[in-house]
Structure 1
Amino acid sequence: MLYWETRFLRIDWDEELRCVCTAWKDAYADGNEYRTALDKVLDLVVLKRASRLLGDGRRMKVISESDQEWVESSWMPRSAQAGLRRSALLLPRSALAQLSVHSILARYTLYEGRSVEVVNAYFDDMAKAREWLRKQPGGGAAEDPGPASARRGAREPGR
């Protein structure tokens, strides 16, 4: 179900997976435009009490340094507070855009003030990402991610 769409991002609710889905398009966004879009993702997380996200970033463009810092310091803590616990991410095809994503996740992984564990798994295949999410807890209402054996940022074997 389409929730929100702009020239650079589409946000959907996947009833089968009970998760928020994002699909980046071939367009660049930064500043308020980029941040508003990510806040729309959080709006849907809250609305659906979602604990899972499927992020298709294959067409994502580079993220500016200031937006990277905002995601790490503002958006990621708010997403965890909203209940997001599992993310299956398809990484950008662009090497520069991949560096942007890895930079954000590396900084957040090192942030000691986080209060919950959020697991990000990386894929290059949509079917594998969807299958991984199917096996994860959180069919709608946010819940604890379980044992710390699944570490945030760890690469899944399917990648």
Structure 2
Amino acid sequence: MQTDPYLQLEVDRLHHALVLHWKDFVPSEVYREGLLEAIQVSRREGLQNWVMDMKLMKVIRQADQDWTINTWFPQFQLLGIRRLAFVVSDDIFNQMAVSSMVATLRPKFHSDVEYFQELVSASRWAQENTGGLSDFGLFSVK
């Protein structure tokens, strides 16, 4: 597990899952390096499910949102991730940023995507390996 004041990467080999625990207002360099490292770890470990724990994360800068859509997401798509769970942030500005990015990327997703209020529920869902794409709503929260 990688430890950083802003991001912890946790590998769950049993369930083929990667959990990204984000905290606070993440500097651009840390945000981008963290997401790229997550791709490397996922590829190396053969992880098929991701949980983005954003509960304690603050707003994501517009430049980082653009980078996520244009630079990071095409690389993420190549991983063949089955499930992507978001634990919704307590920060309304983070919620708006994530919803905006997902809305932009929604037609390109090949993964099941869901939103959750708690990490336990998100992890449980990510561990289920059912096939097919779910119909996910931008504001649906489990």
TM-score computed with the length of structure 1 as normaliser? 0.79
Bigger radius of gyration among the two = 1
Q: Which residue of 2 is the match for residue 106 of structure 1?
A: 103
- The answer (yes or no) to whether the contact 1:52–1:87 under 8 Å persists in 2 is yes
Partner of residue 130 from structure 1, selected from 115, 123, 131: 123
Matched, 1:6 2:4: yes
Please give the residue correspondences for 1:7-156 in structure 2 after superposition, counting only pairs within 5 Å: 7-26=5-24, 28-110=25-107, 114=108, 117-137=110-130, 146-148=131-133, 150-151=134-135, 153-154=136-137
- The answer (yes or no) to whether the contact 1:121–1:156 under 8 Å persists in 2 is no
Question: Stretches of 4+ moved more than 4 A in 1?
Answer: 155-158
Query: CA 1:13/1:94 → structure 2, altered by over 3 Å: closer, same or farther?
Result: same
- The answer (yes or no) to whether the contact 1:50–1:83 under 8 Å persists in 2 is no
Q: For 1:82, what is the secondary structure of its paired residue?
A: coil
Letter in 2 for 1:29: V
1:107 Cα offset (Å) = 0.9
Q: How many residues align?
A: 142
Unaligned ranges ≥5, structure 1:
138-145
Q: Percent identity?
A: 22
TM-score computed with the length of structure 2 as normaliser? 0.88
Query: CA 1:5/1:63 → structure 2, altered by over 3 Å: closer, same or farther?
Result: same
- The answer (yes or no) to whether the contact 2:87–2:122 under 8 Å persists in 1 is yes
- The answer (yes or no) to whether the contact 2:103–2:138 under 8 Å persists in 1 is no
Distance 2:9 2:20 in 1: 5
Distance 1:74 1:93 in 2: 26
Query: CA 1:20/1:39 → structure 2, altered by over 3 Å: closer, same or farther?
Result: same
Please report the RMSD computed on the Cα atoms of aligned residues, expressed in angstroms: 2.1
- The answer (yes or no) to whether the contact 1:51–1:84 under 8 Å persists in 2 is yes
